[in-house]
Chains A and B, each alone.
Chain A
Protein backbone atom coordinates (compact mmCIF):
# COMPACT_ATOMS: atom_id res chain seq x y z
CA UNK A 1 0.00 0.00 0.00
CA UNK A 2 1.12 3.52 -0.68
CA UNK A 3 1.56 6.23 1.93
CA UNK A 4 2.38 9.92 1.99
CA UNK A 5 4.22 11.81 4.69
CA UNK A 6 4.28 15.57 5.00
CA UNK A 7 7.03 16.24 7.45
CA UNK A 8 5.84 19.64 8.64
CA UNK A 9 2.37 20.11 10.04
CA UNK A 10 2.76 23.88 10.17
CA UNK A 11 5.10 26.31 8.46
CA UNK A 12 5.10 29.96 9.49
CA UNK A 13 6.75 32.25 6.96
CA UNK A 14 7.07 35.97 6.42
CA UNK A 15 5.57 37.65 3.41
CA UNK A 16 7.91 37.71 0.38
CA UNK A 17 10.11 34.99 1.90
CA UNK A 18 10.55 31.62 0.18
CA UNK A 19 8.81 28.52 1.40
CA UNK A 20 9.36 24.80 0.93
CA UNK A 21 6.87 22.13 1.93
CA UNK A 22 8.24 18.64 2.17
CA UNK A 23 6.50 15.52 0.94
CA UNK A 24 7.76 11.96 0.90
CA UNK A 25 5.90 8.95 -0.32
CA UNK A 26 6.25 5.20 -0.33
CA UNK A 27 4.92 2.89 -2.99
CA UNK A 28 5.97 -0.36 -4.61
CA UNK A 29 4.73 0.80 -8.01
CA UNK A 30 4.91 3.97 -10.04
CA UNK A 31 2.71 6.79 -8.88
CA UNK A 32 1.35 10.08 -10.03
CA UNK A 33 2.01 12.94 -7.61
CA UNK A 34 -0.11 15.95 -6.77
CA UNK A 35 -0.20 19.04 -4.61
CA UNK A 36 -3.56 20.46 -3.65
CA UNK A 37 -4.30 23.67 -1.74
CA UNK A 38 -7.23 24.22 0.59
CA UNK A 39 -8.04 27.81 1.47
CA UNK A 40 -10.01 28.35 4.69
CA UNK A 41 -13.49 26.88 4.52
CA UNK A 42 -13.09 25.89 0.89
CA UNK A 43 -12.59 22.75 -1.15
CA UNK A 44 -9.35 21.48 -2.62
CA UNK A 45 -7.79 23.07 -5.65
CA UNK A 46 -5.09 21.46 -7.75
CA UNK A 47 -1.77 23.34 -7.61
CA UNK A 48 0.31 21.06 -9.79
CA UNK A 49 0.92 17.46 -10.70
CA UNK A 50 3.68 15.15 -11.85
CA UNK A 51 2.77 12.38 -14.27
CA UNK A 52 5.99 11.78 -16.21
CA UNK A 53 8.74 13.63 -18.03
CA UNK A 54 10.54 16.61 -16.56
CA UNK A 55 10.98 16.26 -12.84
CA UNK A 56 10.47 19.98 -12.24
CA UNK A 57 6.81 20.82 -12.41
CA UNK A 58 5.39 24.32 -12.45
CA UNK A 59 1.92 25.01 -11.15
CA UNK A 60 -0.45 27.87 -10.49
CA UNK A 61 0.23 30.89 -8.29
CA UNK A 62 4.02 30.66 -8.72
CA UNK A 63 4.41 27.25 -7.09
CA UNK A 64 6.70 24.54 -8.38
CA UNK A 65 7.65 21.07 -7.22
CA UNK A 66 10.45 18.66 -7.97
CA UNK A 67 10.03 14.93 -8.24
CA UNK A 68 12.99 12.96 -6.89
CA UNK A 69 12.56 9.28 -7.54
CA UNK A 70 15.62 8.13 -5.59
CA UNK A 71 14.50 10.02 -2.51
CA UNK A 72 10.80 9.36 -3.16
CA UNK A 73 10.09 13.01 -2.57
CA UNK A 74 7.96 15.68 -4.18
CA UNK A 75 8.72 18.92 -2.35
CA UNK A 76 6.75 22.06 -3.10
CA UNK A 77 8.39 25.48 -3.31
CA UNK A 78 7.54 29.09 -3.87
CA UNK A 79 10.28 31.75 -4.04
CA UNK A 80 8.19 34.56 -2.56
CA UNK A 81 4.94 34.06 -0.70
CA UNK A 82 2.00 36.40 -0.31
CA UNK A 83 -0.48 36.75 2.51
CA UNK A 84 -3.03 35.10 0.23
CA UNK A 85 -0.95 31.90 0.23
CA UNK A 86 -2.06 31.21 3.79
CA UNK A 87 -3.78 27.85 3.45
CA UNK A 88 -3.50 24.11 4.02
CA UNK A 89 -1.42 22.24 1.47
CA UNK A 90 -1.84 18.56 0.72
CA UNK A 91 0.50 16.23 -1.08
CA UNK A 92 -1.15 13.20 -2.66
CA UNK A 93 -0.29 10.13 -4.71
CA UNK A 94 -2.35 8.15 -7.16
CA UNK A 95 -1.73 4.63 -8.37
CA UNK A 96 -3.38 4.18 -11.70
CA UNK A 97 -4.33 0.57 -11.07
CA UNK A 98 -5.92 1.19 -7.69
CA UNK A 99 -9.13 2.78 -8.92
CA UNK A 100 -7.26 6.05 -9.30
CA UNK A 101 -7.92 6.98 -5.70
CA UNK A 102 -5.84 9.70 -4.10
CA UNK A 103 -3.90 8.96 -0.94
CA UNK A 104 -3.20 12.17 0.93
CA UNK A 105 -0.54 13.27 3.33
CA UNK A 106 -1.54 14.85 6.62
CA UNK A 107 -1.35 18.38 5.27
CA UNK A 108 0.91 21.36 5.99
CA UNK A 109 -0.58 24.58 7.20
CA UNK A 110 1.23 27.60 5.80
CA UNK A 111 0.76 30.79 7.76
CA UNK A 112 2.12 33.85 6.00
CA UNK A 113 2.90 36.73 8.32
CA UNK A 114 3.21 40.38 7.25
Chain B
Protein backbone atom coordinates (compact mmCIF):
# COMPACT_ATOMS: atom_id res chain seq x y z
CA UNK B 1 0.00 0.00 0.00
CA UNK B 2 1.32 3.40 -0.98
CA UNK B 3 1.80 5.63 2.07
CA UNK B 4 1.87 8.99 0.28
CA UNK B 5 0.44 9.06 -3.21
CA UNK B 6 0.25 11.81 -5.80
CA UNK B 7 -1.72 12.15 -8.99
CA UNK B 8 -0.91 12.63 -11.73
CA UNK B 9 2.66 11.41 -11.99
CA UNK B 10 3.24 13.46 -15.13
CA UNK B 11 1.45 16.61 -16.20
CA UNK B 12 2.13 18.43 -19.47
CA UNK B 13 0.20 21.60 -20.15
CA UNK B 14 0.25 24.94 -21.92
CA UNK B 15 1.14 28.30 -20.42
CA UNK B 16 -1.83 30.08 -18.97
CA UNK B 17 -3.75 26.95 -18.06
CA UNK B 18 -4.98 26.06 -14.57
CA UNK B 19 -4.10 22.65 -13.17
CA UNK B 20 -4.29 20.67 -9.94
CA UNK B 21 -2.09 18.06 -8.34
CA UNK B 22 -3.57 15.77 -5.72
CA UNK B 23 -1.89 14.24 -2.68
CA UNK B 24 -3.22 11.66 -0.28
CA UNK B 25 -1.61 9.96 2.69
CA UNK B 26 -2.93 6.89 4.46
CA UNK B 27 -0.53 7.10 7.40
CA UNK B 28 -2.87 8.97 9.72
CA UNK B 29 -0.45 11.89 9.80
CA UNK B 30 -1.49 15.36 10.90
CA UNK B 31 0.81 17.54 8.83
CA UNK B 32 1.30 17.64 5.09
CA UNK B 33 3.70 19.58 2.88
CA UNK B 34 4.36 20.59 -0.69
CA UNK B 35 7.92 20.90 -1.95
CA UNK B 36 9.16 22.04 -5.34
CA UNK B 37 12.24 20.51 -6.98
CA UNK B 38 13.61 22.58 -9.83
CA UNK B 39 15.60 21.47 -12.86
CA UNK B 40 18.83 21.66 -10.84
CA UNK B 41 17.36 19.26 -8.26
CA UNK B 42 17.09 22.01 -5.65
CA UNK B 43 14.28 21.25 -3.18
CA UNK B 44 12.33 23.98 -1.43
CA UNK B 45 9.32 23.98 0.87
CA UNK B 46 6.21 25.67 -0.50
CA UNK B 47 3.40 25.02 1.96
CA UNK B 48 2.52 23.10 5.06
CA UNK B 49 -0.87 22.24 6.52
CA UNK B 50 -1.63 20.85 9.94
CA UNK B 51 -5.13 19.44 10.44
CA UNK B 52 -6.38 21.44 7.46
CA UNK B 53 -4.82 24.66 8.74
CA UNK B 54 -2.12 26.47 6.77
CA UNK B 55 1.02 26.82 8.89
CA UNK B 56 3.79 27.48 6.37
CA UNK B 57 3.60 29.60 3.24
CA UNK B 58 7.05 30.24 1.86
CA UNK B 59 6.63 33.32 -0.34
CA UNK B 60 5.02 31.31 -3.09
CA UNK B 61 3.15 33.31 -5.80
CA UNK B 62 -0.55 33.49 -5.07
CA UNK B 63 -1.19 31.60 -8.32
CA UNK B 64 -0.45 28.58 -6.15
CA UNK B 65 -3.25 27.68 -3.79
CA UNK B 66 -3.15 24.62 -1.55
CA UNK B 67 -6.44 23.06 -0.49
CA UNK B 68 -6.86 20.58 2.33
CA UNK B 69 -10.36 19.06 2.34
CA UNK B 70 -9.38 16.78 5.22
CA UNK B 71 -6.17 15.92 7.00
CA UNK B 72 -5.42 13.01 4.66
CA UNK B 73 -5.42 15.19 1.56
CA UNK B 74 -3.49 18.24 0.45
CA UNK B 75 -4.06 19.32 -3.12
CA UNK B 76 -2.15 21.97 -5.03
CA UNK B 77 -3.96 24.16 -7.51
CA UNK B 78 -1.97 26.34 -9.87
CA UNK B 79 -3.53 29.16 -11.87
CA UNK B 80 -2.16 30.77 -15.02
CA UNK B 81 0.74 28.39 -15.37
CA UNK B 82 4.10 29.86 -16.38
CA UNK B 83 7.17 28.28 -17.92
CA UNK B 84 9.03 28.67 -14.62
CA UNK B 85 6.50 26.46 -12.88
CA UNK B 86 7.99 23.45 -14.66
CA UNK B 87 9.41 21.29 -11.89
CA UNK B 88 8.81 18.17 -9.88
CA UNK B 89 6.38 18.72 -7.02
CA UNK B 90 6.61 16.48 -3.97
CA UNK B 91 4.03 16.00 -1.31
CA UNK B 92 5.11 14.84 2.14
CA UNK B 93 3.47 14.06 5.44
CA UNK B 94 4.53 13.89 9.06
CA UNK B 95 2.99 12.66 12.29
CA UNK B 96 2.60 15.47 14.79
CA UNK B 97 3.25 13.39 17.87
CA UNK B 98 5.60 10.55 18.68
CA UNK B 99 8.15 10.25 15.86
CA UNK B 100 7.35 13.77 14.78
CA UNK B 101 10.57 14.36 12.94
CA UNK B 102 10.40 12.15 9.86
CA UNK B 103 8.65 13.32 6.73
CA UNK B 104 7.45 10.72 4.26
CA UNK B 105 7.51 11.76 0.64
CA UNK B 106 5.30 10.91 -2.27
CA UNK B 107 6.71 9.82 -5.65
CA UNK B 108 6.46 13.31 -7.15
CA UNK B 109 4.54 14.93 -9.98
CA UNK B 110 6.60 16.13 -12.93
CA UNK B 111 4.94 19.27 -14.29
CA UNK B 112 6.01 20.51 -17.72
CA UNK B 113 4.66 23.83 -18.93
CA UNK B 114 5.02 24.43 -22.67
Query: Are A104 and B43 interface neighbours, CB within 8 A?
Result: yes
Q: Is the CB of B90 within 8 A of A100?
A: no
Interface window among A16-24, A40-48, A71-79 = A40-48
Using CB atoms, name the residue of chain A closest to B90: A43
In chain B, residues 14-57, which have Cβ atoms closer than 8 Å to a Cβ of chain A? 31, 33, 35, 40-45, 48, 55-56
> Are A46 and B102 in touch, CB under 8 angstroms?
yes
Tell me, yes or no, whether B103 is within 8 Å of chain A by CB: yes
Secondary structure at chain A's binding surface: helix, strand, loop or mixed? strand
A36 contact set on B, CB distance < 8 A: 105
A100 B101 Cβ-Cβ under 8 A: yes
| Set of chain B residues within 8 Å of A106, measured between Cβ atoms | 40-42
Q: Give the chain B neighbours of A38 by CB distance below 8 A.
A: 41
* Structural contact, A43 and B107, CB atoms closer than 8 A: yes
Q: Are A102 and B103 in contact (CB under 8 A)?
A: yes
Instruction: Specify which chain A residues have a CB less than 8 angstroms from the CB of B56 in the assembled complex.
Output: 99, 101
Say yes or no: B108 contacts A43, CB within 8 Å. yes
Interface flags for A36-74 (1: CB within 8 Å of B; 0: not) read 101000111110010100000000000000000000000
